[in-house]
Structures are given as structure tokens and as C-alpha cells.
Amino acid sequence: MGINIFIGEHPYKILIKGQESMDKKPLIGMAIFLLILLPAFSSPATAKSDTKLYVGITNGMPYVFRHVCVFGNIVNIGDNPAYNVSCVFSITGGRNGDINVTYSHNLSEMPPRKGWGFSNDAYGFGPVIITLTVCASNVDTITKSLKGFQIGESTMIPFPALRHTIFALVLRLYVY
């Protein structure tokens, strides 16, 4: 078995030995690759897979002579209630590390298709880290964190309009 290659007017015949065994090697290699790769994309199982929480951080749009609060949002987008829900919402940082505001709250039950929002006012100047951690007895712990900038009573976060749009879509799809 061979391949004819023409260079100019002269034909050259290239012989290929063991072509039948070469066809199986790439298939075996791809199968091994898939067996190694597929577990990397699997998602961890939760205690109750049909209880899901969406967690988001948004802020108000800036207005003249009005400070901008940061909001933590939790929505149960699953079909079952979340039990023993606790959250910790914090803003830390500042120019001298003088901003350290924490809000925590517990709920015994969050029904499906319901949301919960809260704000956290801070005062200071400089870069801050806003963190929202939510855990429940039948859902894995969820932590969302992002960087912002504090100017007096106003907390600025990147892409506020996009964050509002995403949260509004989640509410529209899962709650109303």
C-alpha cells in the first residue's frame, strides 16, 4: 500500500507500513483523553439538586446629592425551599483599612421562587472588597466577592447597569 506523489514529471511512491494498526491508535488516544477530561467538567452534587440559590451584588444608580448603596440579593430559583439560610454581607478596605461593615441575617426557610434583598451602608474613602456569603442546610455555600470603590457614603462597583439587568432577568425568569 502506498501513495504516489509527483514532483515535476517524476512519480515517487511512498510506502506506508502498518497502516491498519495506526488507525486504532488515535481512537484509543482520544478515548483516554475524554476519560481524563470529562470529570473536569462535571458539577458537584448538592444535597438537594432542585434547590438552587442565585446570589448577586448590585448597587443603586448614582444621582446628584444622593449616596449609592450596595445591595446583596438572594433568589431561590429552585423548586424546593432552602432551609436554615444564613448570609454575611460585608464591605472591607478603604484607604487606611478603616472600612469594615458587616451585615448578617438568618432565615429559617426561603420558599421557592422568592427573593431577599438587603443593603449595607458604609462610609469612607478608597478601594473596598464587597463579599456576600450565603449558606443553607440543603445548598452548598455560595460566596460572591467583587472590588469596588468607596467615596464617602457611596459605593461604586463595576458595570452597575449590567448587574441590574442580569438580576432583573433572574427575577423575571424565576420569580414572576
Query: What pLDDT shows up at residue 92?
Result: 93
Closest among 117, 126, 170, 119 to 151, alpha carbons compared: 126
Find the radius of gyration of the CA atoms of the chain. 28
Closest among 113, 95, 103, 117 to 163, alpha carbons compared: 117
**Residue % of the chain over a pLDDT of 90:** 20
Spell out the domain ranges in the chain: 2-41, 53-174
How many of the other CB atoms lie within 10 Å of CB of 29?
10
Residue numbers in the chain where pLDDT is lower than 70? 1-49, 60-67, 161, 164, 174-176
Task: Please state, in angstroms and rounded to a whole number, the distance separating the CA atoms of residues 158 and 23.
Answer: 52
Q: What is the pLDDT of residues 141-174, one digit of tens each?
A: 999 998 988 888 888 888 776 776 777 777 777 6
User: Hey, what long-range contacts does 9-17 have (CB within 8 A, 24 or more apart)?
Assistant: none
Query: What pLDDT shows up at residue 93?
Result: 93
Element (H, E) at 1: none
Which fold, 53-174?
Immunoglobulin-like (2.60.40)
Task: Please state, in angstroms and rounded to a whole number, the distance separating the CA atoms of residues 113 and 108.
Answer: 16
Cell digits of residue 63: 444621582
Cell digits of residue 59: 448597587
Q: What is the pLDDT of residues 60-75, one digit of tens each?
A: 665 555 667 788 888 8
